[in-house]
Structure 1
Amino acid sequence: MKVFAVAGYSGSGKTTLLEKLLPQMTARGLRVSVIKHTHHDFDIDRPGKDSFRHRQAGAGEVLLASSSRWVLMNELRGAREPSLAEYLARFSPCDLVLVEGFKDEAVPTLEVYRPANGKPPLWPAHRQIVGVASDQPLPPGFPAGLVALDLNDTAAIVGYILDTVELRGASHAVF
């Protein structure tokens, strides 16, 4: 299983970019999964539902299953957040896991950078960033070792990611 991350500040377009990349990757015959990291508390459950009631009653994990999908909810209850490696170990086999967030993990990362957000780029402080996708020319001082990509050229970004994780020539993929 190969891993590649997409990082950037809130509002930079990370989710929108992944939404555009996923169909192009799966059309090539790749099985792709996604981990979305958030710094906010979230809940996919609703008060009153059986699974919510089970968690509220103290269940450490609740697996919700149907003929269409299943989800495993794990309550940390004060325990430390698992590492990216621990999350990855829970995935079913796949060709590629795209990670949104986890900008401090040592995996190849593409920064989505929009100067209009008024935030500084991440790449100077994060050595795992191997490329930057932007909708504007990159600022002075952009290192020669980083790849600059047009944020709107999703085909080029797909090719770059697959080359980086050495999946472009995968025998099961159709190019």
Structure 2
Amino acid sequence: MKVIGFAGWSGSGKTTLVERVITLLEARGLAVSLIKHAHHEFDIDYAGKDSYRHRHAGCREVLVTSLNRWAVMHELRGRPELNLSEALAQLSPCDLVLVEGFKHEPIPKIEIYRAAIDKPQLFPNDPHVIAVASDAPLATTLPQLDINDPGAVAAFIVAWFELR
């Protein structure tokens, strides 16, 4: 599986851009998966559902399946959170994995940068940033992509992995 990250500060537009890029990559016939790192406690289940009750009763894993989808919820119960390699090992095979978060991992990344966020750029201190998607020109020799042009970002990703 090919892996590429999207790194940037909160509010920079990562999720919106990634969502649009996924649609374009899938339209090219690529099987795309995503790993999203959450910095806070999250839950995809809620009180009153059978699966929630089973998890809270002590199950380490609960798999819910239906005609349209299935999901596994795994309770860490005090064990460390997954690192990126461990998270990747949980995925089914695909052509491309997009990673949102895990910005300090040594994987190729596209930095998402908006000047209005008023945060420092990541690429000067991260040799794994291979391009920057921004809403304004930046002082860098890295490829610069328009943050508002998901087609250009998708094309860059396809070209990057074809050259490798």
Asked if the contact 1:4–1:165 (Cα under 8 Å) also holds between the matched residues in 2, the reply is no
Counterpart for residue 152 of structure 1: 148
Q: Counterpart of 2:3? A: 3
Q: Is 1:28 matched with 2:28?
A: yes
**What CA distance in whole angstroms lies between the structure 2 residues aligned with 1:38 and 1:125?**
23
Q: In 1, distance between residues paired with 2:115 and 2:144? A: 14
Task: Choose between structure 1 and 2: higher helix proportion.
Answer: 2
Aligned length: 164
Distance in 2, Cα, partners of 1:124 & 1:135: 18
On the 8 A contact 1:103/1:126 being kept in 2, the answer is no
Q: What secondary structure is seen at the aligned counterpart in 2 of 1:159? A: helix
* Separation in 1, partners of 2:118, 2:19: 24
**Alpha-carbon shift at residue 166 of structure 1 (Å):** 2.3
Deviation string 1:82-116 (CA, Å, 9 cap, x unpaired) is 11111111111110011111111111000100010
Q: 1:143 is matched with which residue?
A: 140
Q: Percent identity?
A: 56
| TM-score (ref. length: structure 2) | 0.95
| More displaced 10-residue stretch of structure 1: 67-76 or 151-160 | 151-160
Write out the 4+ residue segments of structure 1 that deviate beyond 4 Å after TM superposition.
none
**2:124 is paired with a residue of what secondary structure?**
coil
Residue 116 of structure 1 aligns with an amino acid whose one-letter code is: A
**Pairwise CA RMSD:** 1.4
Alignment gaps of 5+ in structure 2: none
**For residues 35-63 of structure 1, what are the alpha-carbon distances to aligned partners after superposition, in whole Å with 9 as ceiling and x for unaligned?**
11110110010112111111111111111
CA distance in 1 between partners of 2:9 and 2:40 (Å): 14
Name the TM-score, length of structure 1 as normaliser: 0.89
